Chain A
Amino acid sequence: MVNFNKIKIIYIFFVKTLLRSKKTKFFILFSLVPLLIFLIINGLKLIYHDNLLAGSDFFKNGGMPFFFQFYIQLISLLFGAAVLSDEIDSKTLIYLNTSPVSKFSILSGKFTAYLTVSFLSFAIGSTILYVMTHFKGILTTNSLATLLQLQFAGLIAIIAYSSLFLMFGVSLKKSTIIGLVYIFGWETIAQILPGTAQKLTIFFYLHSLSPIRIPKEKGILNISIVQPGYAEALITLLIFSAIFFAASVYIFKKREYLLADHT
């Protein structure tokens, strides 16, 4: 039986822990990099009396690729895989594994805590950038709706990527390296490959969720696959996430974790 109270206890403890960590602080600051670039560019343009860069253009061509093709993947990898690898590296897993808490509850509590903090980091940077680049019309219904849709797309993307990297983290020793190969290898290559390889990437579905088009590479043969609809993409990503999470729990239950030299 699932013990929601214990999941909550683990969740709160690790959200608190993560919010104090240097890694989280770094990622929150890092999410502000596009804003900084935007401000520098327009500051220079002001100095040299040049036409200012349109905020919406910068968000579409600079902000969207940064957040949806780099930041989300990176933060999901470094937080998703770390759900367990942090515990293994610091040998603190022992405290969880020798408590009367099911492995499912441990992983659920920790995973949701890491998701929360990852999303928070993304939301802070992307929201501030969106507001600053759409400053004039920010209070219109359309603009706010787009912002909400963006945040939702970001949340789903973080869930999907993090659950995949969680699975890597519970099953592989070099999960971060494998994750990097997946993000910057497979996800990039699959976009330009002919055939249906794109369907085996998370980005393919994520593309359909975003209210603002994410710039994409053209395929080798310039054959573009029809993008799935919003509902199809959403359901597919949620199913992927559920499968990855279930697999992670299964592996976590079955696997032995060597925390040191065992003699």
Chain B
Amino acid sequence: MGTVIKGENLSKWYGNVLGLSEISVDISKGIQGLLGPNGAGKSTFLKILTGQLKPNIGEIRIFDEPVFNNQELFHRIGYCPEFDAYYREVTGWEFIRFKSALFGYSKKETDQRALTAIEKVGLTDSKDRKITAYSLGMRQRLKFASSIINDSDLLILDEPLRGVDPLWRIRIIKMLKEFEEEGRTIIVSSHILSEIEAMTNNVILIHQGKIFAHGDIQEIRDLIGSHPHKVSVVCNDARGLAKKMISDDLLLNIQFLDNEQKVIFETDKRDRFFDTLTYTISNSAINVSEITSPDDNLQSVFDYLIGR
């Protein structure tokens, strides 16, 4: 497969703050997940990718062309930014039509493409409402619509599912998979592993401005699996629950809090632990009011991996 995006030794600073450090990427067709905790450098990378920022060191090329100030390249690129940014005085239709017109299509094609894009995200009925009257999820879908007007070869999506309701998440993910089948390239950034997992197996992990790992998502899953997890359970019989759980060889540590209303389990066998916990609760008279897993996020996985 041919290279779509090629970046070499990309580094970016904001004054003394490091945004990206010596990142090299070679991205081909398909969906590429860009994963990392908030503040990892994903957005900086995407801003360099879309020509909003210039790397201090290194070079990035898309379709073998330089990006910065190369506005013609955007005939082949669609971009959905992370910001909840919109023009306050216009309707959804006026915005999408404006974006469509900027591609230089004929009037008829401009209208047709704008209409198709707005239909795809389910905003046809509310297209004549001002964007200020949209919910966050609707604005997010509108932004997504603006990125798919030109049927681009490369679609760059920065946190595209943020604020989108579950039904539309599924639909957007389905749409992206269809785009992939059409042979297009899609870069999706997220700080939520399950979002990326639903779209692709191919991920780049960014942390502290560097590429931490690049490859199959299953490897990331395995890393999470071996990562010691704390699971907090609030129930009416914390000690009884702990007694039942301890009989299995799953736990590294147990701690009781809040007058034994809460128990915190530490395990390094996450999947088995949750299977056992579900089984134990469903086969006992223990009433559980809350189960939380503070470690079940990317930040804690990264912290664990880099040995903090």
Contact = CB atoms under 8 A, between A and B. Distances in A.
B89 A17 contact: yes
A102 B43 contact: no
A102 B71 contact: yes
Nearest to B40: A263
Interface in B76-123: 77, 79, 81, 83, 85-90, 94, 98-99, 101-104
Interface residues of B, number: 40
A13 B98 contact: yes
Contacts of A92: 85-87
Given A9-B101, A253-B69, A262-B44, A98 B52 contact: yes
B72 to A, nearest CB: 6
Interface string A227-263: 0000000000000000000000000010011111011
Contact of A262 (B19, B51, B75): B19
Contacts, number: 96
A258 B14 contact: yes
B146 interface: yes
A263 B71 contact: no
Interface string B28-60: 000000000011110110010011111000000
Given A17-B89, A90-B88, A100 B75 contact: yes
Nearest to B85: A91
B74 interface: yes
Contacts of A97: 50-52
A9 B85 contact: no
Contacts of A102: 71
Nearest to B77: A98
Contact of B47 (A13, A16, A100, A262): A262
Given A94-B85, A262-B14, A262-B19, A99 B103 contact: yes
Contacts of A90: 85-88
Contacts of A6: 102, 104
Contacts of A100: 71-75, 102-104
A99 B85 contact: no
Given A91-B83, A258-B14, A103 B44 contact: no
Contacts of B87: 17, 90, 92
Contacts of A98: 50-52, 74, 77, 79, 81
A16 B90 contact: yes
B117 to A, nearest CB: 14
Nearest to B101: A9
Contacts of B86: 90, 92
From A5, A9, A103, A262, residue with most partner B Cβ within 10 Å: A262
Question: 8 closest pairs, A vs B, by CB?
Answer: A91-B85, A263-B39, A20-B89, A99-B102, A100-B74, A91-B83, A98-B79, A9-B101
Interface of B: 12, 14, 17, 19, 38-41, 43-44, 47, 50-54, 69, 71-75, 77, 79, 81, 83, 85-90, 94, 98-99, 101-104, 146
Given A9-B101, A100-B71, 20 more contacts: A6-B104, A10-B102, A13-B98, A16-B89, A21-B89, A91-B83, A91-B85, A92-B87, A94-B79, A94-B83, A95-B81, A95-B85, A99-B99, A101-B102, A102-B71, A256-B53, A259-B83, A262-B14, A262-B53, A263-B39
5 contacts: A5-B104, A6-B102, A21-B89, A95-B99, A263-B44
